[in-house]
């Protein structure tokens, strides 16, 4: 999957969520403010990019200067702030939130600790836990999850299996070591994006397939919510409730995916030479 295609899919998912009404759950933890600026711009300073709200420099919740490592990421953040109308809806500003997490690191964790947090999901990965009944759900899980698990094990040379037990499947130490080594090749910013995607999808297998561009955001959502969607197809959904939760989760997954690629993609500026 080309990066441009991935970026367009992620942006579509994020914009879709911004059109739904915010619930108290979505607003929780965010203090809404009236919009206090008219223009948003970007300034480059010593290889990092800053966001300007009129003449003010954007800052993080802890008061640090908001500086991001790539122009593309700065443009994404700038777009979020530019889209705000009368009220600043921070619960819709996924890219800004991820940047604030990377800049402030509110839990004070180092790279090793973030990786450990991600790898904890190996023991509870959604695609590894299978039902015994009903038969049609078992068949659905086998049909949808087995090919992805096979791809993952081949791609990362791992040995992850599924189980119908309440006990977690055994994950070999060699598998953990290989996945840790893969994560160590990423910078700290990218790891915060990985962690957000894994937490949202409740699956390392699905998140890694998404980051590797093996699947797209909508497919990742479908795979991670397989059992829930199966139950909804049988019993129906709570009007608006399930839909809003789904769109909010999809926006977070899309933002995390785009964030990882924007902080790891290498770009080069080419200066034009007058002739």
Per-residue pLDDT of the chain (275 residues), as tens digits, is: 655 565 555 656 565 555 555 444 444 455 678 999 999 999 998 899 999 999 999 999 999 999 999 999 999 999 999 999 999 998 889 999 999 999 999 999 999 999 999 999 999 999 999 988 899 999 999 999 999 999 999 999 999 999 988 888 889 999 999 999 999 999 999 999 999 999 999 999 999 999 999 999 999 999 999 988 888 877 766 655 556 788 899 999 999 999 999 999 755 444 445 54
Q: Which two tokens stand for residue 269?
A: 């500026």
pTM of the full structure: 0.86
DSSP assignment string, 239-259: TTHHHHHHHHHHHHHHHHHHH
**Alpha-carbon distance 243 to 256, whole Å?**
20
Bridge partner residues of 241 (DSSP): none
What pLDDT sits at residue 4? Answer: 57
CA 51 vs. chain centroid, Å, equals 22
> Burial, 59: exposed, middle or buried (Cβ in 10 Å; 0-12, 13-18, 19+)?
middle
Bridge partner residues of 49 (DSSP): 44, 68
Secondary structure class of 19 (helix, strand, coil): coil
User: Which DSSP symbol is given to 275?
Assistant: -
- CA-wise closest residue to 124 among 196, 195, 198, 222: 198
Q: How many CB atoms lie within 10 A of CB 53?
A: 21
What pLDDT sits at residue 33? Answer: 86
What pLDDT sits at residue 75? Answer: 96
């Amino acid at each position: 999957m080309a990066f441009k295609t991935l970026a367009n899919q992620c942006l579509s998912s994020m914009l879709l969520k911004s059109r739904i009404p915010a619930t108290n759950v979505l607003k929780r933890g965010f203090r809404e403010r009236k919009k206090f600026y008219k223009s948003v711009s970007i300034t480059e300073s010593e290889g990092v990019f800053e966001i300007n709200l009129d003449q003010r420099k954007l800052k993080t919740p802890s008061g640090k200067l908001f500086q991001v490592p790539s122009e593309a990421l700065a443009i994404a953040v700038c777009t979020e702030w530019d889209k705000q109308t009368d009220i600043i809806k921070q619960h819709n500003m996924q890219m800004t939130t991820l940047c604030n997490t990377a800049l402030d690191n509110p839990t004070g964790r180092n790279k090793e600790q973030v990786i450990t947090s991600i790898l904890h999901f190996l023991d509870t990965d959604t695609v590894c836990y299978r039902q015994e009944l009903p038969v049609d759900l078992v068949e659905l899980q086998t049909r949808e999850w087995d090919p992805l698990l096979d791809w993952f094990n081949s791609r990362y040379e791992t040995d992850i299996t599924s189980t119908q037990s309440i006990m977690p499947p055994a994950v070999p130490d060699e598998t953990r070591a290989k996945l840790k080594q893969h994560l160590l090749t990423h910078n700290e910013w990218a790891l915060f994006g990985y962690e957000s995607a894994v937490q949202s999808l409740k699956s390392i297998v699905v998140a890694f397939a998404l980051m590797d561009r093996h699947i797209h955001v909508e497919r990742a959502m479908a795979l991670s919510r397989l059992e829930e969607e199966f139950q909804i197809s049988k019993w129906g959904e709570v009007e608006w409730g399930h839909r809003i939760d789904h769109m909010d989760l999809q926006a977070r997954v899309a933002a995390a995916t785009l964030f990882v690629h924007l902080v790891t993609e290498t770009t080069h500026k080419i200066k034009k030479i007058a002739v």
